[in-house]
Amino acid sequence: MRLVSAEPTFKEVTLSAPSSAALSLAAKTIRVLTADAVQAAGIGHLGLPLGCAELGALLYAEVLRHDPLDPSWPDRDRFVLSAGHGSMLLYSLLHLSGYALELAEIRRFRQLGSKTPGHPEWGVTPGVETTTGPLGQGLANGVGMALSERMLAQRLGPELVDHRTYVLASDGDLMEGVASEAASLAGHLGLGRLTVLYDDNGITIDGPTSRAFSEDVARRFEAYGWQIQRADGHSFDELRSALSAARASEEAPQLILCRTEIGRGSAVAGQAKAHGSPGDEVLRGVRERLEWTHPPFVVPEEARGVFAENASRGRRQREAWQQRLEKARGDAARAELLDALYGRKLPENLEDLLPAFSASTSAATRAASGQVINALAPSVPGLVGGSADLAGSNNTTQSGESFVEREQFGGRNLAFGVREHGMAAAVNGMALHGGLRPYVATFLVFSDYLRPALRLSALMRQPVIYILTHDSIFVGEDGPTHQPVEHVAALRTIPNLEVWRPADAQETAYAWIEALRRDTGPTALVLSRQSLPGLEGVTQDGVCAGAYVLVREPDAERLDLVLVATGSEVHLATAAAHELNASGHSVRVVSLPCLERLLAMDAEARDDLLPRDVPRLGIEAGVEQGLAPVLGRADAFHGLSSFGESAPYEDLAEHFGLTPSAVLEHAKAILARG
């Protein structure tokens, strides 16, 4: 195992260095600002900002290539605070570096509407690269950012893409399984521009890590394929040496184990109580121990000056990059590619590029999705993605395109292995990085494995596309462990996630169009394993609205019943409606590919589609909660209230009453009640 401390075996890279006295002042300022903010809020995490003050000061004063005047500069280095509970470290650094984060916002730490929430949030605070707090997620985001950098450098060249990703991770981050999944993938791909700084302080909320965590982290990461270094986290010289060595190597991702003291500079340094809110007495004592004489929230100008030179250097680097960008844009083909990648510009004729589906097309919607991907991908160069070892079943592979591999980042297909959680967290990082439009896939039943990352996609408004196939008990013989029952309902509870469950190939194609055009949040495409016949009456406008009349009631003056269905069950509804209407009833079928779009309609349009005084029967091969928003107390539901069974899917349909005849009998019972 290669362990580097004072004498790294890598080629050194010289980093400009403020004096040790200046860096020490910066670290002291971070500690006092943290204590002031936590004391003013009455709550907050003290330990990490105090323990990692030297590390943070060195990164922002010397190492990071960034420009506080342009936080979204595409070729900046990325810094991810995976241990998001230590948010005051990041807020202090952003303020001192000159980002648009005023001291007034530091005073309002953790208050309603402030730019300094309890955990960093993307889109709220300038300079925050991702929303962190759920441990392990930030590290996995960093893997996705580093992967995007390599893929874009292959496409655009090092003159436009030449940056690095740094992650500060805690003991808790490294205990979480998602971090292990992502770190394994990073090592496999050899993402040598990724550096993780491990805040190795031996303390968690409940006490010493030795109570539950005794593995050799260095050896674990070496087994993943990472290069390992060690440094005293309070020594500028050792940290500088380790970071310089990391920058000199691009063979593998870097893990620097930084031995630190949690809560350094406070009366509870090295103790578990330093992690959270230690109380006013301890917070006041930080100033005394550090011999700080300035009033609360007063920052000496010389502390800001420590960061000024690196910020100025970053501005010059950004300006030089912009000149190279303008030169590149002089080539029409490169300009078009840049617009497609960084501007997420889509062809205006997306609809014309779709496969020729019609009412005569019979296909599993997962197969139709695969055809759509391959039809659109040549015209959407940023579209990249893959599956958690189920590409053949999820139909996610782009034909004629290679898979991304170590030192071969020009491909568009991604193999994530059996790592659902790490996959979803990594593509959040890819989406946040910009330049690529990722999609990922697995079976719907395994959406539980990636749900925490999917939730963060929605919270951060990232347009990740989730392809979730094998969408019901019609998975068949694999049985209830693989048959999703509650999963569609569960997904629909996530704010800002659009869940699409198309009923045939045409609806699938239009759902894909909407997913690509959506840039304010993620989309889940819930797709069938089994083949479904084409439907008459599918329209793009109807599908894009989220719900539309597929079968119109024969009597324009009378509406007896509305059948509302999604996915494969739309076919049950249409069969039942045709028989009912042939026998003198006046029944409407509403196809509901996207409940969220229906709920976003204005009340008049929704009431026109689903009149309040007309009974409804909701039909879905899942639990009732999935359609609850469209079912009133007097309305009925036809679906499941239990787990599935292991059997051929045709037998399961009969057993659970998911057949046209069963829906027909249920509808007749409602009509009989008047």
Which positions are annotated as active-site residues? 420
> How much is the CA Rg of the chain, to the nearest whole Å?
28
**Two tokens, residue 481:** 């462990």
Q: At a CB cut-off of 8 Å and minimum separation 6, what does 442 contact?
A: 387, 388, 390, 394, 420, 423, 449, 450, 467, 468, 469
Give the Cα separation of 105 and 100 in Å (integer): 10
Q: How does 199-212 read in b/e, with b if 16+ C-beta sit within 10 Å?
A: bbbebbeeeebeee
Which token pair is 663? Answer: 């829906």
CA–CA dist 330, 338 (Å, integer): 11
Residue 62 is classified by DSSP as I
> How far is 136 from 640, CA to CA, in rounded Å?
35
d(C-alpha 294, C-alpha 275), whole Å: 25
The token pair at 296 is: 């609360």
Contacts of 79 (CB under 8 A, 6+ apart): 59, 60, 64, 66, 90, 129, 165, 166, 167, 168
Find the distance separating the first CA and the last CA of the chain, reported in whole Å. 77
Q: Phi/psi at 469 (nearest 5 deg)?
A: -100, 180
Nearest to 250 by CA among 158, 160, 325, 182: 158
Alpha carbon distance 5, 256 (integer Å): 9
Q: Are 638 and 657 spatial neighbours (Cβ–Cβ below 8 Å)?
A: yes
Q: Which residues contact 240 (CB under 8 A, 6 or more apart)?
A: 15, 17, 58, 62
Write out the E strands in 295-409: 363-364, 383-387
Closest CA to 258 of 214, 216, 199: 199
Contact 119, 85 (CB under 8 A): yes
Q: Quickly list H helices, 473-523.
A: 487-492, 505-517
Q: How many CB atoms are located within 10 Å of the residue 27 CB? A: 27
Give the CA dihedral 167, 172, 178, 179, nearest 10 degrees. Answer: 40
Contacts of 294 (CB under 8 A, 6+ apart): 32, 300
